[in-house]
Amino acid sequence: MDGNFLMRLRNILVDRRETAAQGIERELDEMHDPQMIPQSEMIDMAQSLEQLDRDTHLHEQERHRMVAIDRALAKMATGTFGQCEDCEEEIPSRRLLAVPEARLCAKCQAVEERQQGRMRGPAVMSRAS
User: What's residue 129's pLDDT?
Assistant: 41
Angle at 96 between CA 113 and CA 21, to 5 degrees: 85
In a domain, 72, yes or no: yes
Is the residue at 44 inside a domain? Answer: yes
Q: What single string gives the DSSP state of each residue in 89-126?
A: PBPPHHHHHH-TT--S-HHHHHHHHHHHHHHHHHHHHH
Q: Is 90 left (phi over 0), alpha (psi -120 to 50) or beta?
A: beta
pLDDT at residue 62 in the model: 85
**pLDDT at residue number 108:** 96
- Inside any domain, residue 107: no
The pTM of the whole model exceeds 0.75: no
Please name which of 101, 116, 109 lies closest in space to residue 19, comparing C-alpha atoms. 101
Domain boundaries, position 12: 3-81
For residue 8, what pLDDT is reported? 93
3-class secondary structure, 42: helix
**What is the number of domains present in the chain?**
1
Q: 3-class DSSP state for residue 66?
A: helix
Q: Per-residue pLDDT tens, the chain, 129 aa: give them.
A: 788 999 999 999 999 989 888 887 777 676 665 555 545 566 666 777 787 778 777 778 888 889 999 999 999 999 999 999 999 999 999 999 999 999 999 999 999 999 988 877 654 444 444
Q: Is residue 100 part of a domain?
A: no
The CA R_g of the chain, rounded to the nearest whole Å, is: 19
